[in-house]
């Protein structure tokens, strides 16, 4: 019996020609061993690690890492089509798993961007406020209910979701047995931000509305060893300060901050000293104290402002009213006070570590691109880096990095292009669904030639190429593009696409090697998050009223197609700069070909260039 089995095994082995080599001599493998080996590598191999990182409240997102490499990272809003979607990221989880064609049960560890049990420190502070201030009760009470008891009705996810996350995940994504690990919020911000550079010695700042206990952390990193230099306890929060005034000036909080930032250069910062005297005070050793009674963030979220704030700055603006000069001056003063406080927070770095001149910035406040630029002109920092998603969305990658014990794959981590890649067949299917469209399928060479010529002739182009961006900026994968040489094109864009406030500036993309000809910036800005002075009068459409611009530098490595387009546009016009604004109309940036076709149809844009198709409208 045994000899029959061995003989059969030998025959099968000869038939399927399995062999291995030692010193160039071939040895036949036992078919049974081969089958066992195949089974082991397919089903039992424990070397491969998938880490799923999650951000579950406020710009929710999911990221998938495989052996240290980012496979995909997607914000929930891109799929739900709800701006700043903060609900549990079910769609984003499904998307990143589906891009890799795996299921939740294949994941080795789930990494969360927040330690929910530490939130009780915050809870105590909140209860204290509830007891002493009527105004606070108006804001905090509904928020507490929303966070702990009412999350079914809430748009945002809640801390309570994190306590029952296993059940939530199992209900929607099937059974899984891997470990769930919770990480410190600011640490996840910093892990993602710090992965952007190979620097050996640098400072690392994370600041936002607030983490579990702290709103700001400044760390020093030297040859991989890190120490916390200073930290600022929540609710002492520069983020809350900025957001409260965003609401006071009639913009939607946690969304309209960039509008207040865009308005600021039109004003005179005449209230800055008043703000620094009454609202946010600078204290020794880089500390500051926000008067949270006067500047009550949670009450402001519900539309309530303290009497003291109104005595100092007048009545809050209603969003239907045009901003008055006073509102514009307040915006300017808030921006200026924000910048001064930021510089003050970083002072201990200069004093204790004068040799450090590199800085990583992350957290929601890092989206204040004007303040980022100010650091380069007003402090001793010579180089700064902010990741493509410095807000909470980026914490999904940061949390996954905290969990991953593999060496990080920096090339994938530094790419902002983390969404799904669509094929030309996918595009064709989407085009066929659209009505009244004419399209040409062209070669890569013709695509660049024709698009550059269209842009140089003053036409608007919707540009959809490759994987979509992760983070709030359009970086040449999902962008509306235009010629920046004519100021009139800004009005045309606002009429045909954006329908937005005229005070908000449009940003430029420029080839990396030509950036110094146009902007006063001694470093690259690959993720469009640094403001710099404009040196040339050739690009009025992307020059803000204070002669600055939010610069996006493009290299041949980071985005070859977009780089080629910029270069070709430069050869035709002598200006290798394009106006680049996000491909969306009052909704999240487009993600799929269907989104692109729908948005194009609803816009007045002349051409949609989507992968190798150039689409226009039937006359």
**Binding residues for Fe ion, per CB under 5 A?**
208, 392
In whole angstroms, how close is the CB of 402 to Fe ion at the nearest point?
Answer: 14
In whole angstroms, how close is the CB of 361 to Fe ion at the nearest point?
Answer: 12
Judged by CB, which is closer to Fe ion: 366, or 531? 366
CA distances, 300 to each of 190, 246, 307, 416 (Å): 29, 9, 12, 33
Give me the helices (H) in 574-619, please: 593-602
Residue 158, sorted as left (phi over 0), alpha (psi -120 to 50) or beta, turns out to be beta
Judged by CB, which is closer to Fe ion: 85, or 392? 392
Task: Name the token pair of 223.
Answer: 């040859």
Are the C-beta atoms of residues 468 and 477 closer than 8 Å to each other? yes
Judged by CB, which is closer to Fe ion: 191, or 579? 191
DSSP code at position 469: B
H or E stretch at 140? helix 134-148
Q: How far is residue 501 CA from its own chain's centroid?
A: 23
Strands 280-282 and 530-534: unpaired
What string of H, E and C letters represents the secondary structure of 98-137?
Answer: HHHCCCHHHCCEEEECCCHHHHHHHHHHHHHHHHHCHHHH
CA distances, 388 to each of 232, 399, 474, 496, 528 (Å): 25, 16, 10, 28, 8
Are the C-beta atoms of residues 99 and 70 closer than 8 Å to each other? no
In whole angstroms, how close is the CB of 363 to Fe ion at the nearest point?
Answer: 5
Which residues have CB under 8 Å from 167's CB, separation 6+?
none
Judged by CB, which is closer to Fe ion: 55, or 541? 55
Q: How far apart are CA 63 and CA 365, in angstroms?
A: 22
Are the C-beta atoms of residues 577 and 566 closer than 8 Å to each other? yes
Q: How far is residue 550 CA from its own chain's centroid?
A: 16
Judged by CB, which is closer to Fe ion: 323, or 398? 398
Judged by CB, which is closer to Fe ion: 88, or 234? 234
In whole angstroms, how close is the CB of 391 to Fe ion at the nearest point?
Answer: 7
In whole angstroms, how close is the CB of 26 to Fe ion at the nearest point?
Answer: 59
Judged by CB, which is closer to Fe ion: 109, or 392? 392
Judged by CB, which is closer to Fe ion: 215, or 335? 215
Judged by CB, which is closer to Fe ion: 68, or 209? 209
Judged by CB, which is closer to Fe ion: 367, or 589? 367
Helix, coil or strand: residue 296: coil
In whole angstroms, how close is the CB of 567 to Fe ion at the nearest point?
Answer: 37
Q: Return the closest-CA partner of residue 595 out of 462, 452, 439.
A: 462
In whole angstroms, how close is the CB of 186 to Fe ion at the nearest point?
Answer: 7
Q: How far apart are CA 314 and CA 305, in angstroms?
A: 11
In whole angstroms, how close is the CB of 145 to Fe ion at the nearest point?
Answer: 22
In whole angstroms, how close is the CB of 334 to Fe ion at the nearest point?
Answer: 20
In whole angstroms, how close is the CB of 92 to Fe ion at the nearest point?
Answer: 17
CA distances, 595 to each of 254, 433, 586 (Å): 24, 12, 13
């Amino acid at each position: 019996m045994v000899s029959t089995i061995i003989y059969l095994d030998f025959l099968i082995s000869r038939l399927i020609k399995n062999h291995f080599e030692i010193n160039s001599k071939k040895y036949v493998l036992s078919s049974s061993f081969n089958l066992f080996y195949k089974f082991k590598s397919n089903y039992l191999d424990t070397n491969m690690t998938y880490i799923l990182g999650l951000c579950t409240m406020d710009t929710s997102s999911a990221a998938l890492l495989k052996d240290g490499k980012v496979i995909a990272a997607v914000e929930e809003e891109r799929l739900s089509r709800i701006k700043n979607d903060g609900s549990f990221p079910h769609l984003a989880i499904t998307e990143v798993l589906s891009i890799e064609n795996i299921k939740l049960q294949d994941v080795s560890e789930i990494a969360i961007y927040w330690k929910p049990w530490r939130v009780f420190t915050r809870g105590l502070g909140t209860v204290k406020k509830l007891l002493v201030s009527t105004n606070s009760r108006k804001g905090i009470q509904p928020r507490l209910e929303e966070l702990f008891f009412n999350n079914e009705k809430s748009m945002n996810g809640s801390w309570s979701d994190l306590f029952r996350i296993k059940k939530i995940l199992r209900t929607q994504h099937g059974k899984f047995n891997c470990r769930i690990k919770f990480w410190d919020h600011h640490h996840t911000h910093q892990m993602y931000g710090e992965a952007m550079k190979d620097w050996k010695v640098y400072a690392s700042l994370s600041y936002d509305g607030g983490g579990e206990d702290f709103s700001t952390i400044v760390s020093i990193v030297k040859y991989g060893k890190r120490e916390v230099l200073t930290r600022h306890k929540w609710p002492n929060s520069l983020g809350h300060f900025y957001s409260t005034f965003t609401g006071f000036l009639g913009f939607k909080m946690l969304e309209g901050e960039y509008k207040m930032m865009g308005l600021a250069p039109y004003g005179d910062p005449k209230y800055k000293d008043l703000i620094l005297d009454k609202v946010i005070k600078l204290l020794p050793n880089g500390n500051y104290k926000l008067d949270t009674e006067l500047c009550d963030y949670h009450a402001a979220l519900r539309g309530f402002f303290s009497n003291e704030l109104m005595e100092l700055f007048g009545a809050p603006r209603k969003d239907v009213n045009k901003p008055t000069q006073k509102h514009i001056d307040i915006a300017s003063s808030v921006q200026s006070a924000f910048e001064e406080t930021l510089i003050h927070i970083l002072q201990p770095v200069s004093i204790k570590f004068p040799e450090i001149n590199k800085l990583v910035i992350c957290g929601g406040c890092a989206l204040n691109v004007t303040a980022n630029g100010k650091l380069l002109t007003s402090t001793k920092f010579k180089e700064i880096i902010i990741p493509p998603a410095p807000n909470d969305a980026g914490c999904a990658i940061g949390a996954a990095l905290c969990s991953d014990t593999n060496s990080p794959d920096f090339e994938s981590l530094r790419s902002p292009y983390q969404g799904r890649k669509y094929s030309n067949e996918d595009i064709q299917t989407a085009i066929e669904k659209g009505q009244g469209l004419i399209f040409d399928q062209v070669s890569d060479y013709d695509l660049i030639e024709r698009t550059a010529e269209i842009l140089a002739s003053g036409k608007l182009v919707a540009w959809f190429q490759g994987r979509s961006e992760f983070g709030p900026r359009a970086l040449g994968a999902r962008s509306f593009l235009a010629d920046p040489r004519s100021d009139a094109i800004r009005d045309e864009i606002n009429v045909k696409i954006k329908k937005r406030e005229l005070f908000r500036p449009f940003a430029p993309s420029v080839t990396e090697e030509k950036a110094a000809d146009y902007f006063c910036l001694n470093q690259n800005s690959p993720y469009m998050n640094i403001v710099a002075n404009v040196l040339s009068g050739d690009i009025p459409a992307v020059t803000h009223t204070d002669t600055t611009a939010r610069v996006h530098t493009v290299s041949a490595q980071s985005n070859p197609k977009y780089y080629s387009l910029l270069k070709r546009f430069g050869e035709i016009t002598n200006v290798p700069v394009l106006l680049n604004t996000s491909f969306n109309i009052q909704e999240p940036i487009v993600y799929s070909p269907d989104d692109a076709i729908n948005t194009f149809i609803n816009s007045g844009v002349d051409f949609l260039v989507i992968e190798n198709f150039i689409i226009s409208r039937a006359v």
